Amino acid sequence: MHAFPYYFPTTLKYGNGLAAQAGALIRQFVPADGKLLVVTDEGLMRSGVLDSFFASLRAAEIAYETFDGVAPNPDTAVLERAVGFLKQHGCTAVAGVGGGSSIDTAKGVAAMATSPGSILDYEGYDRIRETPLPIVALPTTSGTGSECTASTVFTNRETLFKTVIISPKLFPQLAILDPELTLRLPPAITAATGMDALTHAIESYVSKQANPISQALALHAIRMIGRSLRKAYYVGADLPAREDLLMGSFLAGVAFSQSKLGNVHAISHTMGGVFNIAHGIANAALLPYVLAFNVPACPERFRDIAQALGADVAGLDDLAAARRVVEEIRALNRALDIPSNIRELGVDLAHLPQMVKDSMRSGNVLVNPRLTNAGDIERIIVAAHRGNIEEIV
């Protein structure tokens, strides 16, 4: 077992209907003379899903402003507008309410409200020196786990590279998890975000930087997501399934905040930046190909994952059991109507050299369980584009 630290400062509040009590929970971060910036997206505002949340802010007499200009795969221009909005209105704390893009943007706003320059200046690990404004996160999807991680991601508009900023200062002070907020998610978003969370858990479990704590969390996240994602997709109002997914996403986030991820995220971030593909769908379509590549590196860990997903691996050796994971994920993707190749997502191999270069720039390659070079990344992308997993096996 390698030496490792474990640091997790976020306070979790979990419960059905908790959005209606959010104001009382957030009150401590917004003094009487302060103001909260709520960062969200326009569609969520129109949906009415957040009505109880905003009512709770008014009941707690919290002054607030709302920035609803967040879009999927947020870029630096969105962040700059949000920071300008915050400074214009004199906000002193930030709440990210919505999907991962809203929470990531909120974290970026809180950091850049107190730090000079551009968010891109802080790429990499632990480069933020100033303490951000207080951060509260209330997810309305079960996917990114951003409410419990030390990272945020923004696309560089000039290079189309998705820049990852990691700092212990980016952990939210408070995460509020209310499964009822996820009951109205459309099936396509349920699939994309659920597969994002499952990818986090799987990559975290097999990461070279994993530790016993992160692996315990990741494996249980796999169990919870694996047993509930289909049900939430087909029966959206199934509350126990939604509870499993939201908590599974949180556990996966806590896990990978300690372990980092792997080749799926190294490549999918690149695809998202260049082609503006939804992150969870990019992960899901890539996942079987990266799994097939990684299986020989740690088959005993993949056997654990197969069992957590409910596969019967009795009587199989570790390698055969590990390969069942690939089959399970391909079957799950089919059930969720996720393409079996990345060509259908709009990936153009004319950009292959850039995708390989940008993927290798990711720190996630370094913790991937199987040693990976640029040729390996190219092979994975080409196989995933053709939809031919035999090229990897």
Question: Which pLDDT tens digit goes with each residue over 26-83?
Answer: 999 999 999 999 999 999 999 999 999 999 999 999 999 999 999 888 889 999 999 9
Report the run of H or E that residue 81 belongs to, with start and end: helix 76-89
392 three-state secondary structure:
coil
Q: Is the pLDDT of residue 211 over 80?
A: yes
Predicted confidence at residue 226, as pLDDT, reads: 97
Lowest mean pLDDT among 31-40, 43-52, 188-197, 272-281: 272-281
What is the per-residue pLDDT for 63?
97
The average confidence (pLDDT) of the chain is 95
The predicted pLDDT at position 162 comes to: 82
Residue range 212-224: mean pLDDT, rounded: 98
pLDDT above 90 (res 155): no
Under the banding of pLDDT at 50, 70 and 90, the label for residue 222 is: very high
Cβ within 8 Å of residue 54, ≥6 positions away: 38, 64
| Cα–Cα dist 388/339, whole Å | 13
- For 92, residues 6+ apart whose C-beta sits below 8 A from its C-beta are 30, 31, 34, 35, 36, 133, 134
pLDDT band at 274 (very low <50, low <70, confident <90, very high): confident
CATH number of 11-182: 3.40.50.1970
Query: Please, which contacts does 3-9 make with residues 24 or more away whose CB atoms are closer than 8 Å?
Result: 4/209, 4/211, 4/258, 6/211, 6/213, 6/258, 7/168, 8/148, 8/171, 8/254, 8/257, 8/258, 9/168, 9/171, 9/173
CA dist 332 and 304 (Å) reads 18
Environment class of residue 373 by beta-carbon count within 10 Å: exposed (0-12), middle (13-18) or buried (19+)? exposed
Q: Taking the domain 212-391, which CATH number applies?
A: 1.20.1090.10
pLDDT of the residue at 254? 97
Q: Which residues contact 2 (CB under 8 A, 6 or more apart)?
A: 211
The structural domains of the chain, with segments of one domain joined by +, span: 11-182, 212-391
